[in-house]
């Protein structure tokens, strides 16, 4: 019952923020439009990580489902406010392994995220950004208060011209009893009419945004190849052997993708790649590692449907 109340409180809190943001930035019918309206972007990604052997014995495969909704509203020529909502669900299928550090391996991981980006253009050639983020990450039955992470991503971009925007970013997060930070390169470089170097991912608590080289043979097709590193933490069930324990997953990955624009702002991506240098770690409530295992390089496939309104 307590878990039910906690999760619904978090859900209603996010809904309230969405409603307040909408009321604040969307003019009523009686008002005259002030500049551009709210921009909406959404995406769903389904990822299948194929079975891979664990160093501790046995094997695991993972199904991941990611939902994203982003809203933005230009207030004037210099300021843009936004809001991002995310929900990630992962199902882990462990085989022939009874425990990691004395606790049964997790089966499901839920992550609910909220970001409130603010962007400022002090001049025609500079773009500054601050993106506060909040996230719940845990298995079913995890304590809500002990499953919250928060932090901020800061960026400073220099616009050198229509072909090149280059800058630096940094993120600092308090992630379940651990404070971590990372720098990253922010880039959008149109090398020519067909080739581009860019950041393929949204930077957040799981790490920097990665790099991707993109080839566009025509207006409808895009092909890209890139890579990144990801690490994320989540609270375990209060009833596990490691009370209020923490699970952590880390891996690097490379990928190739093909994107098809379907019209009306809708695109479909098909992605194939590999995860490598992966590891799973369990910590106790005193932030001490009590168990870990690595996993072999494994293929993954993904499908993404995205759009803009």
* Cα separation, 190 vs 214, whole angstroms: 9
| Of the options 2.30.30, 1.50.10, 1.10.8, 2.40.160, the CATH number for the domain spanning 2-308 | 2.40.160
CB neighbours (10 Å) of residue 23? 9
Q: Encode burial over 163-189: b for 16+ CB neighbours within 10 A, e otherwise.
A: eebebebebebebbeeeeeeebebbee
pLDDT single digits (tens) 247-296: 999 999 999 999 999 988 899 999 999 999 999 998 887 777 788 899 99
Q: What is the mean pLDDT of the chain?
A: 86
Q: Give residue limits of the domains in the chain.
A: 2-308
pTM of the full structure = 0.85
Kindly report the CA angle at 123 between 118 and 126, in degrees rounded to 5? 65
Residue 7 has pLDDT above 60, yes or no: no
Least-confidence region, from 47-56, 96-105, 195-204: 96-105
DSSP 23: H
pLDDT single digits (tens) 24-71: 445 544 444 444 578 899 999 999 999 999 988 889 999 999 999 999
């Amino acid at each position: 019952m307590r878990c039910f109340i906690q999760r619904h409180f978090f859900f209603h809190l996010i809904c309230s923020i969405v409603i307040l943001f909408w009321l604040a930035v969307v003019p009523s019918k009686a008002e005259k439009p002030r500049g551009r309206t709210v921009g909406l972007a959404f995406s769903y990604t389904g990822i299948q990580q194929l079975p891979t052997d664990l160093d501790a014995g046995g094997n695991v495969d993972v199904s991941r489902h990611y939902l994203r909704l982003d809203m933005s509203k230009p207030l004037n020529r210099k300021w843009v406010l936004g809001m991002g909502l995310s929900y990630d669900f992962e199902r882990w299928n462990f085989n022939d392994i009874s425990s990691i550090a004395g606790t049964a391996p997790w089966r499901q991981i839920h992550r609910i995220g909220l970001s409130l980006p603010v962007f400022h253009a002090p001049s025609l050639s500079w773009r500054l950004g601050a993106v506060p983020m909040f996230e719940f990450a845990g298995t079913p039955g995890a304590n809500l208060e002990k499953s919250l992470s928060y932090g901020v991503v800061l960026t400073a971009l220099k616009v050198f011209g229509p072909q090149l925007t280059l800058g630096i970013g940094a993120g600092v997060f308090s992630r379940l009893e651990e404070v971590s930070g990372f720098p990253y390169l922010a880039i959008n470089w149109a090398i020519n009419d067909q080739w581009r170097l860019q950041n393929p991912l949204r930077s957040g608590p799981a790490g920097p945004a990665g790099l991707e080289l993109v080839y566009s043979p025509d207006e409808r097709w895009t092909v890209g190849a890139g890579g990144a590193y990801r690490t994320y933490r989540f609270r375990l069930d209060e009833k596990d052997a490691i009370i209020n324990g923490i699970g952590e997953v880390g891996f690097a990955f490379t990928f190739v993708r093909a994107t098809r624009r379907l019209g009306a702002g809708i695109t479909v991506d098909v992605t194939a790649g590999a995860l490598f240098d992966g590891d799973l770690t369990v910590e106790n409530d005193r932030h001490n590692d009590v168990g870990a295992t690595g996993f072999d390089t494994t293929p993954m496939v993904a499908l993404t449907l995205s759009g803009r309104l």
